[in-house]
A and B are shown apart, each in its own frame.
Chain A
């Protein structure tokens, strides 16, 4: 059995998870990464996506995060999410609203740089929607 380490998922409103886990998959900006115990110290930003937590018992729990960043140390991992919910509690209307907002941002973008950024965000959101909501 793999070694357990401390994982914390924190959103501004509350502490969602704080427990010993086996591994966690984080949707980092530069690609998904799996974190296990004794990971090298990494600091990374997180894009909107699904965080999969594998607990010591072997169960998998999935959370949706909307951006944030992760602080990874050999002894533990802290994910500071801008907003996070368990996949089973996700509110479709809320997600649709976010996508709608992102679309408006793309339309409102003034220069190329902000447009690229907004488009990227929109793309991440739509991928997320496809991932969590069964067609």
Chain B
């Protein structure tokens, strides 16, 4: 049985921890809001990009000279996995969820006799994957210095991926990230970016049957557009991840705060009981001392 003093210290330290987790929860909540706003602000661009891409692929489609980024190399021997995770821990199962999902995928690919290369975006994913597949990781991208996620960050990653593709380093690229469903649920997702599937042509707007003039030719625009589309997809993944991380952190810290509260209650009960026992013991000692006289 711990002494009263030990219990008192214990309670004080749990209280301090509770204060920290509470503060972290509030910070995560504020950051979550910002991340969600950023994700929402980015949505119009990717939507319109999708619409434009659909129109233009429909126009180029017949020509059959679509760039390799879209049609692929015709093989699927070498797979590149771009695994996006958070830079920091303390966000529940967020990072390990993505890493586990990626690991399952890697195992399946390796079992099928494919070659796998990995690019890790974010420190945590690297730390987890390094244990099992350290030799497969060809690059890691650190975003820890980045305060607000900008398009430039995504663009840099996309450029790296595209230049690897142009050098013939891989045939298929897949992006792993966590889709932000809600604060309490983030779903790990895999999305193939190279070769990219063309989105279906939107039928609803007035442009449905419009005949476009292209300046320069559709092929030239398309070869400009596709790399940009990859950047946009990576950017979207990073933003979803950022929102998901903050959501996961918020609920993890909420749990931690509640656990600390429970612990404090339990410890307080033990403390009070023991204090009472001590008082009773002292009284008995005094009384029996008086009786002996």
Contact = CB atoms under 8 A, between A and B. Distances in A.
B45 A41 contact: no
Given A45-B221, A80-B52, A14 B213 contact: no
A13 B46 CA distance: 10
Interface residues of B, number: 35
Contact of B56 (A12, A30, A43): A43
Nearest to B154: A12
A69 B45 CA distance: 12
A44 B212 CA distance: 10
B213 A12 contact: no
A72 B129 CA distance: 46
Contacts of A8: 44, 48
A69 B150 contact: no
A55 B70 CA distance: 39
B214 A42 contact: yes
B228 A82 contact: yes
B42 interface: yes
A41 B212 contact: yes
B42 A44 contact: no
Contact of B213 (A42, A69, A75): A42
Contacts of B150: 13
Interface in A1-51: 8, 10-15, 28-30, 40-45
Contacts of B46: 12
A41 B216 contact: no
Nearest to A29: B216
Given A45-B224, A78-B48, A12 B42 contact: yes
Residue of A41, A43, A45 contacting most chain B CB atoms (<10 Å): A43
B197 interface: no
A73 B232 CA distance: 23
Given A13-B150, A73-B207, A43 B42 contact: no
A71 interface: yes
Contacts of A85: none
Contacts of A73: 206-207, 210
A83 interface: yes
B151 A10 contact: no
A11 B45 contact: yes
B147 to A, nearest CB: 14
A12 B151 contact: yes
Interface string B254-291: 00000000000000000000000000000000000000
A15 B210 CA distance: 25
A94 to B, nearest CB: 11
Nearest to B213: A42
B159 to A, nearest CB: 11
Contacts of B231: 12
A40 B51 CA distance: 18
Contacts of A10: 44-45, 48
B231 to A, nearest CB: 8
Contacts of B206: 73-75
Interface in B104-142: none
15 contacts: A8-B44, A10-B45, A28-B215, A29-B215, A42-B212, A43-B56, A43-B212, A44-B215, A45-B220, A45-B221, A71-B48, A71-B55, A74-B206, A74-B210, A75-B206
Given A15-B44, A44-B221, A45-B215, 7 more contacts: A8-B48, A12-B46, A15-B45, A41-B210, A42-B213, A75-B206, A80-B52
